[in-house]
Amino acid sequence: MAKKKTSISLIGAGNVAYHLGLRFYEKGYPIQQVFSRKIRKAQKLSKKLNATATNQLRDIKPGSDIYIITVRDDAIVEVAKKLHPQVENALIVHTSGALSSKVLKPYSKNYGCFYPLQSFSINKTIDFEKLPVCIYSPQKKNRQKLYKLAQGICSNIYEINDQQKSVLHVAAVFVNNFTNHLYHIGQQITEDAAIDFAILKPLIRETMEKIEQHDPAEMQTGPAIRGDRETMEKHLQYLQKYPDWARLYRLISQGIAP
């Protein structure tokens, strides 16, 4: 006889909830409720998940095995407070990389984190076979529940405590948010010179592919690592019309220089 799968309520209906919800549903996990302050958003996602929708936290019902809070970091505590009376005995987790699981401690004796380490966009398909999911709860029984839940949707599961997760989030900002900002700068520089940014995309892909097999430090190239001051000065001369980017160029080059 097949064992009953963990039932879930999603508190939030944004990008993270959308992708997690679809994956859970695809893998046979029953989604009971979807909450969003905007009822149309909750209804749109709940329709895909065969769940009920609500825009009132007081209408969140007890009975789900896990309540996953996927709202903005600055709204997590407020949401948890309002959930407390209905679901205080259930396992409540949030998906934030920056916040400790302990922010949920006053509102449930069973709490933790279920942190998918990825940048989610509504129209970009997520490869869950490669997606890393970080789980944590101070209670062993809840860590086991979260690990089992993660196993149901992906293969790369990491048990990472609150301190480690906060450090990981710092690193993630560097490799994702900051890197994307550098792509934006490169796009602006090329477009200002009437050059198609697409010319740089094979270089971007090559850089990403290299770090699959090698340490990033070993793969560093460019004028800074070579100590090519003449080329760097030419670059900085051109960047005079972009003073903020010139300062950024100097700072990063100093970090790269041997």
Q: For residue range 90-107, what is the model confidence (pLDDT) as tens digits?
A: 899 999 999 999 999 999
Same structural domain, 189 and 81: no
pTM for the model? 0.86
Q: Which amino acid is residue 12, in one-letter code?
A: G
Q: For residue range 112-155, what is the model confidence (pLDDT) as tens digits?
A: 999 999 888 888 888 898 899 999 999 999 999 999 999 999 99
Same structural domain, 149 and 242: no
Instruction: Burial-class residue 245 by CB neighbours within 10 Å (0-12, 13-18, 19+).
Output: middle
CB-CB contact of 145 with 6 (8 Å): yes
> Which domain-ending residue is among 103, 130, 160?
160
Same structural domain, 146 and 218: no
- Helices and strands (DSSP H and E) totals, the chain: 10, 8
DSSP secondary structure code for residue 178 in this structure:
I
1: in domain = no
Task: Output the six-digit token pair for 167.
Answer: 């450090």
Q: How many CA atoms lie within 13 A of 131 on its CB side?
A: 24
Q: What is the pLDDT of residue 2?
A: 52
Q: For residue range 187-246, what is the model confidence (pLDDT) as tens digits?
A: 999 999 999 999 999 999 999 999 888 999 999 999 999 999 999 999 999 999 999 999
CATH of the domain at 73: 3.40.50.720
Same structural domain, 51 and 144: yes
Same structural domain, 90 and 130: yes
> Which domain-ending residue is among 160, 189, 213?
160
CATH of the domain at 215: 1.10.1040.20
Per the structure, the complete domain to which residue 218 belongs is given by 167-256
121: in domain = yes
DSSP secondary structure code for residue 115 in this structure:
E
2: in domain = no
Same structural domain, 130 and 202: no
Q: For residue range 166-180, what is the model confidence (pLDDT) as tens digits?
A: 999 999 999 999 999
Same structural domain, 215 and 236: yes
Cα–chain-centroid distance for residue 81?
Answer: 23
How far is 90 from 159, CA to CA, in rounded Å? 21
Same structural domain, 24 and 141: yes
Same structural domain, 140 and 174: no
Q: What is the pLDDT of residue 87?
A: 84
Same structural domain, 149 and 199: no
Give the count of domains, the chain: 2
> Which domain-ending residue is among 160, 186, 212?
160
Same structural domain, 98 and 208: no
19: in domain = yes
3: in domain = no
Task: Output the six-digit token pair for 19.
Answer: 């992708």
141: in domain = yes
Flag whether pLDDT at 74 surpasses 90.
yes
Q: For residue range 18-59, what is the model confidence (pLDDT) as tens digits?
A: 999 999 999 999 999 999 999 999 999 999 999 999 999 999
Same structural domain, 203 and 152: no
Cα–chain-centroid distance for residue 168?
Answer: 11
Banded model confidence at residue 1, pLDDT cuts 50, 70, 90: very low
